[in-house]
Each structure stands twice: as C-alpha cells, then as structure tokens.
Structure 1
Amino acid sequence: MKRISLLLTSFALLVAVLLPGIKAEAVVDEKLGVPIVVYGANLSEAELDSVRKSLGVENDTEVEEIYVDGSDLVNYIPDGNRNARMYSSAKITRQEAGKGLVIKIVTEENITQVSADMYGTAMLTAGVEDAIVEVAAPKKVTGHSALVGIYKAYEVSGEKLDTERTDVANDELNLATKFAEDAGIDKDKVAELLTEIKKEIADKNPATREDVEQIVSEQLKKLNIELSETDRQLLIDLMDKIRNLNIDFGKLSDQLSDFGDKLKEKIGEIDPGFWEKVKEFFASIFESVKSWFN
C-alpha cells in the first residue's frame, strides 16, 4: 500500500511539473488598464449575477463594467436591429501588442451558434487584436450580440474601430453560422476556411473579384469543403468586401498566421510531449507493479 501511495504521489508531482500554474493570481496591468466586462442590456438581475459568476468577476473590484444595447448594435452594424435583445456578454482583457487574440466561451452550453474561433476570425476582420476575450450567457442564445459588446469594450479601452470593418465582420459571423447551421459544416472547419482565405487575400493582394473567386475555389478544394452555388457566391461576395476594406493586410497576415496556428491548438496540447510522458510514466508503474509479484 505504501508503494502505491508513493507512486500516486509521484504522478501528482509529474502533472504539477508538466502543467504548472493553471490558475494564477490576477495582476492588474497598469499600462493597459483593468479588464472590461460588458453585459447584454436585457439581462435580468438574476441573469447578471449568473454571468458575473461565469466570468469570475462577482467579487472582483478590479474590472470596469458597462452595458451594450440596440443603440450600440446599430452603431457598429448600421443595418442592425435597434430592438434586438442582448443577452450574451463578454470580458475583455487587453494584452501587449503582438500577443494576439485568445478567445474562450465559458458557457459553451449556452452559446448555440458561434464558436470561439468564429468570434476570433470576425474580430480580426473588425480590427480587434491583442486581447483575451471570454464570452458568457445565462441561457441559450445564438451568441451574436457578444460581438457588439466586444467592440464596445475594445473602444472603451482606448482603441477606435472602423464601422465599415465591424459591419463586414458581422456579415462574416452571420455567414459562418449559416454554413455551420444550414450546410452542416463543422464550426472549426468553417473558421479554418475563413482564416485561410483571408490569409491568402492578405498575402496575394488580389486586384479583382475574379482573383478572389480563384482564392475561394482553391481553399474550398484544399479543405475538401463543398458549398452550394448560392453559398459559394455569398462567400465570394464577403471576401471581396474584405479585399476592399481599409486594412493593413501585411499586419493582418501576421495576425491571421498566428490565429491559424492557434486554431490547431486544443486543450491537452500545451506540451505536445505531455501525453507521451504520461504513457511512459504509467508503463514504468506497470513494470514496477509486475516486479512485486515476481
């Protein structure tokens, strides 16, 4: 029994070494300011409490809290519905330039249409960068209004977004969810498709719609994704809009390359050799236990 206890203790120490500091004490970055939490204006008091708990800020005084409503929606999305109901909420923590975007949906069961990667690729189109973004909702919602909240929080932190870009980013998010919901394409695959097409646009700087169409066709084939002709034309229309936006495509290319790499990262792959080390550890346990009976 003592041997078993010793082995279990050793395994716990191994995990502690390989996955250090999962939860660390929060530190306020005095240059970038405190995190900003933006709540959907239609949340009830009970729902607000639920969202605060989900985002881990129910007892946190080192955050700035704001609200987002229909007037904000039409500010960033001119053709949006001013009477739209806003429930999904977000916490945004600015990072140093070059750190990139990290997006996490903390209530995955309640955000039914939008994935973290869909938020990420749309945010890059809109001009949001270098931030940790956490999204939450107290009940099942599509998740679209969180993007408006993220825009507002980002601007409150001192940046200025181009409304033409935020409008197109909203079109991108709508099309992404359409592909996932109606065409049955995996959400991660949709995000990968959008990211790869934008990377090609950033790298090749296409001069015409026909050039964009060629890029779209190549990426659809490369990723083995089949779209109806209607959806294919919608995708070409969207990417042609992105081509014509006032974007620093050199900078966007770097951001998209980084984001594309992050798309491939999943929980458990922080250290690619982690599971191999675990396998080796348990193999050694098996050999040790075997030796007790020889």
Structure 2
Amino acid sequence: MKLKMGISKLLTVFMILTVVISIAGNRVYADSYKVVTLGGNLTNSQKEDMLKYFGVSRQDADVIEVNIDEEKKYLSDVASSDQIGTKSISCAYVEPTTGGGLNVSTHNISWVSSSMIKNALITAGVKNANVKAAAPFTVSGTAALTGILKGYETSSSGSKIDENKKKVANDELMTTGDIGDKIGKDKAAGLMNDIKKQVVQDKPKTEAGVKKIVENVTNNYNINLSDGDINKITSVMNKINGLNLNFGEIQGQLNGVTNQLKDKLSTPEAQGFFSKIGNAIKSFFANIFG
C-alpha cells in the first residue's frame, strides 16, 4: 500500500511539473513573438515565398507590410532617390528575445551588410532580437532597417522607438554604406563601430571634439578618406552623440560587433597580423621544398 501511495505521489508531482513547464514554455514564446514585414510592392506569390524562407506562416507570426512612403520618411534626408528606389521590396523577420543580444543575417541583400544593420539597431536602442533581412531577389537593402524597426515595434515584446533614433540609425546605415563603397563594407562597419564606441564613451562637448575622434580613429585604420567623407561621418556621429546613449548599457553590444568583424579582417591590425602569419607559412614551406 505504501508503495502504491508513493508512486501516486510521484505521478502527481510529475503532472504538476509538466503543467508548470508547459506554462513557462508558452510564456517564453509570448515574450519572443515573431513579426514579419513584407515589401508592399511584392506580388502575392513573392510574399508567400518570403514567409516560407523565414519559416513562418500567417498563423504563427504577425505579418505586416511596409510601403515606399514609410521608407522615404526615414531615408529621404540621407539617401538619394536612386538609392531609395520607387518600390518597397525588402522584407524582415524580427523576433525580440529576452537575452542573447542581436543576431542578424541577410539574404539577397547586396549593399547593406549584417554588421551595418546590427550597428544601426544598437543606435536605435534594440538590445536583444533575432533579425533576418531578405528579399526574393537581389536588392540593395537600403530600406531593410525601416522594416526591421517597424517589426520590432509591432511585436508584443518590442517597444516604441524614438523617431529621432530611427532617423539617426538610418543615417548611420547609409553613411556606412557610402564609406563602404570606398573601403569595403566590413571595414566601414568596423570603422563606424569604433568611432561610435569612442564618441559614446567620451561624450564630446562640441562637434569639433567629435571630429577629432573621427580623425583619430580613421588614422588608426590607416585609410585615406576625403574631407567630405570625414565631415559626413562627423555629422552622423554628432547626431549619435546627441542621443545620449549609455556606454555601460551598449558596450557589450559594440564589442560584439568588433569581435564579429575580426573574423573578416576588418581592421588593419588584423590584416597585418594574418599577413605576417601567411608570410611565415610561405617561408616555412619554401624552406622545406625549396
């Protein structure tokens, strides 16, 4: 009898634990509710293809559309009409999470890189989310950030983002892209990230102080940029400085971008290091087989 009572109690405890775990699991799902934004100018077939690519259906994700007017709202002051285009094509998958930082990937996005998007999201104040920017065919991706931010705000776990932060984040994205055309996307993302890190930490009192940081970090990268490029970077960094971002809160995110870009040899220091290793290896084999 005692054995039967013991087994009965164990079964009861097991059932309770099962219910608790099930409830907890549902709460985690609710906290990370998924949103997909679709370019308003896509065909119905293309929209369905994008949902399949993101691995969601209209039943398990909030699906919304982004139109060209929304894109122009944030890009018209920082991008040319050619860069903006006339149609809304870019799509995004956004899943806010309770931890894990920002995980960003791209598909069929040619001009904007995942690191550039990640940098802009940090500026906008997004801390934790799984993000995918994509399109059914190759596009520049200049408007991807607009869809991502709209998706984040729409999700149950996201929050309203200050309009000024949105504009500055888009300005940063476009400026990085313009610089990337000259020095490469990854190096440009690393440069902008390092400058931002210094600006947010030091909080210069004047635009001249911001420009000094821009010039110093650029010199450390051993790259030649025109006065116009320096002024363009200074302008957006001055706006970022005006957002009064908390360095302690975003330091980990900024360092995360730095670490991510190290693998892509975005800094001259990394390039020099691996170049030396490469030369040493070549010399080693030359001595063996020479």
What range is the shorter-chain TM-score in? 0.7 to 0.9
Q: Is 1:220 the equivalent of 2:218? A: yes
* Counterpart in the other structure of 2:191: 193
Post-superposition offset of 1:251 = 1.5
Aligned counterparts, 1:58-207, within 5 A: 59=57, 61-73=59-71, 76=74, 79=77, 84-97=86-99, 99-105=100-106, 107=107, 110-157=108-155, 158-181=158-181, 183=182, 185-207=183-205
**Superposed CA offset, 1:194-245 (max 9, x none):** 1101111122221111221121112111122221111111111111111112
* Counterpart in the other structure of 2:38: 39
Distance 1:147 1:219, change over 3 A: same
* Counterpart in the other structure of 2:22: none
Distance 1:241 1:159, change over 3 A: same
Query: What amino acid does structure 2 have at the position aligned with 1:190?
Result: A
Query: What amino acid does structure 1 have at the position aligned with 2:92?
Result: A
SS at match of 1:224: coil
Whether the aligned pair in 1 keeps the contact of 2:94 and 2:130 (CA below 8 Å) is: yes
Aligned counterparts, 1:198-277, within 5 A: 198-265=196-263
- The CA distance in 2 between the partners of 1:93 and 1:34, in whole Å, is 6
Distance 1:243 1:253, change over 3 A: same
Whether the aligned pair in 1 keeps the contact of 2:204 and 2:241 (CA below 8 Å) is: yes
Superposition CA RMSD, Å: 2.3
Q: Give unpaired runs (5+ residues) of structure 2.
A: 1-24, 265-290
Post-superposition offset of 1:259 = 2.7
Distance 1:175 1:76, change over 3 A: closer
Q: Which has the higher helix share?
A: 2
Query: What amino acid does structure 1 have at the position aligned with 2:51?
Result: R
SS at match of 1:38: strand
- The CA distance in 1 between the partners of 2:85 and 2:222, in whole Å, is 39
- Residues matched between the structures, number: 233
Query: What amino acid does structure 1 have at the position aligned with 2:173?
Result: L
- The CA distance in 1 between the partners of 2:73 and 2:41, in whole Å, is 18
**Superposed CA offset, 1:139-190 (max 9, x none):** 2211011110011011112301011111111111111111122x2x111111
Identity %: 34
SS at match of 2:149: helix
**Superposed CA offset, 1:63-93 (max 9, x none):** 2211111343355557488994210101011
Distance 1:30 1:46, change over 3 A: closer
Q: Give unpaired runs (5+ residues) of structure 1.
A: 1-26, 267-294
- The CA distance in 1 between the partners of 2:63 and 2:213, in whole Å, is 42
Query: What amino acid does structure 2 have at the position aligned with 1:129?
Result: K
- The CA distance in 1 between the partners of 2:93 and 2:159, in whole Å, is 16
- The CA distance in 2 between the partners of 1:78 and 1:186, in whole Å, is 24
- The CA distance in 1 between the partners of 2:222 and 2:192, in whole Å, is 14
